Amino acid sequence: MTADCRLGGSWQDGATSHSRDAVLEVSGERVSVRVDGAIALEASLSQLSISPRLGSTPRYIRFEGHPGRLETADPAAADWLDARVGTPSSHALWRLENHSLLAAIAGVLMLALAAAYFVWGIPAVSRAAAAHLPAGVMDRASRETLELLQSRYLGPSSLDAGRQQRIRHALQSREPGYPVEQLRFAHSDPLGANALALPDGTIILTDALVELAANDTEVLAVIAHELGHIEHRHAVRQLLQGAAIGVTVALVGGDVSTLGDIVLTLPVVFTQLHYSRDFELEADRYARDFLRRQQLDPEALDRMLVRLHGQAPDEGLPYFGTHPHLEQRLARDAPAAALDR
């Protein structure tokens, strides 16, 4: 019987590591593999699977129910056989590889999907995961963080005890659900005018920050900002998002060179900074809502932001900062004159 097609290649029987020259012959719906002139395997076309065509790389022909495979570098014969077998995925990959416009569109779509994954996907998943974590899951981490801060950066507060009590009372009257014993005051030269929120609900105000405020309402505005971090579980979300980014980069990058490490690390850094800036804006919105609910001066937060900015002005590009630039943080409807008070 005359063969419809003959395809030369290298036969690997799957039992040994050796390969031998072979010829695959197609006659109608039957296929045979001849090695040294003898038939090593017979099968039907429906039992064949062919690896996709990718450039000039060899193609592999496998047989259902048999460990052997035929490797061939004959593109014309492999294409003919592929057409007979009808492997849709192989045809699609070949068309994509050889059609520059389709390849460009696919590349753009992949970039768009990757951007959506980092910008919306990871934050959405981390927000949902953080919301379902038990409330005390980060308590130990919070205690250890507080101990570290106290050993290196925080000292006893020098604020008047009456001022501290007045601020605690103002907070308790406005936010009775918050345990005021978790509001702490501390002196810190390294941190300067600053406030911190830990995942367990602890809020730390430095003496310099309280002294920077013109009144207790401005202190409450900063506390409300920190309550926003706690309410939205920003510390836990930052941890989850960092882990998700790290796993993604490891899966995509694998074992790369030092230069590759740098190239892959830069997007991670920028993404984490982007998340941090988003958290700050979310906490700002929470603080403004708090001030409005409590019928307090709605511009108190903006005035504190302006004063804090005066002590540590924005430097460099916004992409490199953990906090948004001042212009992004100020309420758009705040009168300019009010911010100078």
| In a shared domain, residues 43 and 145 | no
Among candidate residues 22, 32, 23, 36, the one with its CA nearest the CA of residue 1: 32
Q: What is the pLDDT of residue 75?
A: 78
pTM of the predicted model as reported, rounded to 2 decimal places:
0.64
Write the pLDDT tens digit of every residue in 182-207.
999 999 999 999 999 998 999 999 99
Instruction: Find residue 21's DSSP bridge partners.
Output: 10
Rank 51-55, 64-68, 309-313 by mean pLDDT and report only the highest. Answer: 64-68
3-state SS, one letter per residue, for 212-238: HCCCHHHHHHHHHHHHHHHHCCHHHHH
- Same domain (yes/no): 175, 314: yes
Q: Over the stretch 69-119, which tens digit does the pLDDT of each residue have?
A: 989 888 778 888 877 776 655 556 666 666 777 778 878 898 898 888 888
**Residue 24, domain member (yes or no):** yes
Residues 323 and 238 occupy one common structural domain? yes
Instruction: Give 140-149 contacts, CB < 8 A, sequence gap 24+.
Output: 141/199, 142/198, 142/199, 142/200, 142/202, 143/200, 145/198, 146/198, 146/202, 146/204, 149/196, 149/204
Convert the pLDDT of each residue in 46-57 to its tens digit.
Answer: 888 888 777 678
Q: Does any domain span residue 110?
A: no
The reply to whether 48 and 156 lie within a common domain is no
Residues 123, 238: Cα–Cα separation, whole Å: 9
The answer to whether 180 touches 168, Cβ cutoff 8 Å, is yes
CA distance 127 to 240: 9
- Residue 25 has φ and ψ, to the nearest 5°, of -120, 140
In terms of domains, do 78 and 208 share one?
no
Quick one: average pLDDT of 302-330?
A: 73
The CATH number assigned to the domain holding 72 equals 2.30.29.30
* Residues 196, 148 share a domain: yes
Say yes or no: 296 and 168 in one domain.
yes
Give the per-residue pLDDT at 255.
53
- What's the domain range around 199? 135-339
- Nearest to residue 185, comparing CAs of 216, 218, 217, 210? 210
Q: Which helix (H) or strand (E) holds 76?
A: helix 75-85
